[in-house]
Structure 1
Amino acid sequence: MKIVSDKNNLQVLYEDNHIIVVNKRVGDIVQGDKTGDKPLSDVVKEYIKQKYDKPGNVYLGVVHRLDRPTTGIVLFAKTSKALSRLNDLFKNRETQKTYWAIVKNRPEKESDTLVHYLKRNEKSNTSKAHIKEVPNSKKASLDYTIIKTLDNYYALEINLHTGRHHQIRSQLSAIGSPIKGDLKYGFDRSNQDGGIHLHARKLELTHPVTKEHLSITAPVPEDRIWKSI
């Protein structure tokens, strides 16, 4: 797969007339928030405007988000028709998202399905994983497998069944395996770049317009631990 980078260091993994998929870096915010920092959506708009010499405003629909300290695949819609259909695909769980995570504490099982009930705390912007349902909680489910044992860490591959707030981060923390660098969920120290070792590795879906099957993979960051997988 050819990866395009522009002056904003934007890694474009896939692009056609209807959608564009980029590899998000640590620290990028997908959509504007109260920080006022320039969002990835604006960077992508500038890329499209420049590449195609488009006059006026560029249309770009935000389909889903990744946490700011997380890296990997983010999909945007370039047309309103594509956005509407992609929203339906994500809502109906007709996409397959695969993540990689690095943890220090080995999970008890080589592979497992985790089911928790997550309750979000808006004040601290966290989600707490409960074994049993509690008021205002939402069911969260994922599969994980240990894919490699590293010198001091373990690499996990994770497939999401639901898409809850901070789901992977809170569920792995709940089994005693917080993600490397994730102070918010119990890791003992931060990463130098302020990110966490959670990467949206792969996205599989049916193209919203052409109906072809797409399988897109995002290279891991330039990082010694990631590169050792």
Structure 2
Amino acid sequence: MKPVHILFEDNHVLVVEKPVNIPSQEDATGDPDMLTILKEDIKVRYNKPGNVYLGLVHRLDRPVGGAMVFAKTSKAASRLSETVRSRTLHKEYIAVVHGHPPTTHGKLVHHLLKDVRTNIVSVVPKGTRDAKEAILEYHVLEQADGMSLVRVVLHTGRPHQIRVQMNAIGCPLFGDQKYGAHVNKAGQQIALWSFELGFPHPVTKESLLFHSLPPDMYPWNIWSELHVQSKSDL
């Protein structure tokens, strides 16, 4: 595979552009994963002997690409993990969905339950045992060919959250075989991308913000432009 595109790196953090269809960490498939690939890359680039430390701060679903941050020290890992828990790790996505959301700007609140045996997440009534609240905001940027380009801000980080919540309002993601098989064709790549990632630097406390754009291919390339707006626009 091609070398992973590095968006930012210092002694404490590593921000990269995750390619699609690579697991964030080792899974049952045994396929190459981001954590292993990046550890080996650091080992080679810096000629480091022995094991390389790299902490997984957050995950992206295997079919999803885009901006992702890793910690290069245990102190950075601890502090970045706290930003995840306190919801100060800013994660923003762009997605192509089938149909048109009911409003151009909306907030979705659902309760989600994951079946660990099937790896399927479902919307369930509030109060369901083991269910977790999921909150996101979306903003419709453009509409064409019966689809919508939407920008999504996550307020919680639940498994498959965007895919499940958008499907719940009748707008499954383009290419999503798990939650949109009734409108997608086998083999299509899911159109979900980690577009914007922001967090305070774990040591300097400087506010960092990174962007990553999806590849110039269908369905991303049917839009006149992929809007790069500040998070204050949502």
TM-score, length basis structure 1: 0.91
Does the residue aligned with 1:184 lie in a helix, a strand or coil? Answer: coil
Listed as ranges, the matches of 1:1-229 within 5 Å are 8-130=2-124, 132-187=126-181, 188-190=183-185, 192=187, 195-227=189-221, 228=223, 229=226
Q: Supply the distance in 1 between the matched residues of 2:3 and 2:217 (Cα, whole angstroms).
A: 16
Does the residue aligned with 1:148 lie in a helix, a strand or coil? Answer: strand
Letter in 2 for 1:189: N
Letter in 1 for 2:22: D
Identity among equivalent positions (%) equals 42
Asked if 2 retains the 8 angstrom alpha-carbon contact of 1:119 and 1:137, the reply is yes
CA RMSD of the aligned region, Å? 1.5
Q: CA deviation at 1:37?
A: 0.9
Asked if 1 retains the 8 angstrom alpha-carbon contact of 2:177 and 2:186, the reply is no
Q: Supply the distance in 1 between the matched residues of 2:122 and 2:19 (Cα, whole angstroms).
A: 26
CA 1:201–1:59: 2 relative to 1, 3 Å: same
Instruction: Choose 180-189 or 139-148, whichever is displaced more.
Output: 180-189
Asked if 1 retains the 8 angstrom alpha-carbon contact of 2:100 and 2:146, the reply is no
Q: Supply the distance in 1 between the matched residues of 2:179 and 2:36 (Cα, whole angstroms).
A: 30
TM-score, length basis structure 2: 0.90
Instruction: Choose 207-216 or 46-55, whichever is displaced more.
Output: 46-55
Q: Supply the distance in 1 between the matched residues of 2:218 and 2:129 (Cα, whole angstroms).
A: 42
Asked if 1 retains the 8 angstrom alpha-carbon contact of 2:198 and 2:210, the reply is yes
Does the residue aligned with 2:138 lie in a helix, a strand or coil? Answer: strand
Runs of 5+ consecutive residues of structure 2 not aligned to the other structure? 227-234
Q: Supply the distance in 2 between the matched residues of 1:67 and 1:128 (Cα, whole angstroms).
A: 16
Runs of 5+ consecutive residues of structure 1 not aligned to the other structure? 1-6
Q: CA deviation at 1:74?
A: 1.4
Asked if 2 retains the 8 angstrom alpha-carbon contact of 1:180 and 1:191, the reply is no
Deviations 1:128-172 (CA, angstroms, capped at 9, x unpaired):
113543222111111001011233421000111111111111100
Q: Supply the distance in 2 between the matched residues of 1:50 and 1:182 (Cα, whole angstroms).
A: 36
Letter in 2 for 1:150: A
Does the residue aligned with 1:185 lie in a helix, a strand or coil? Answer: coil
Q: Supply the distance in 1 between the matched residues of 2:47 and 2:197 (Cα, whole angstroms).
A: 29
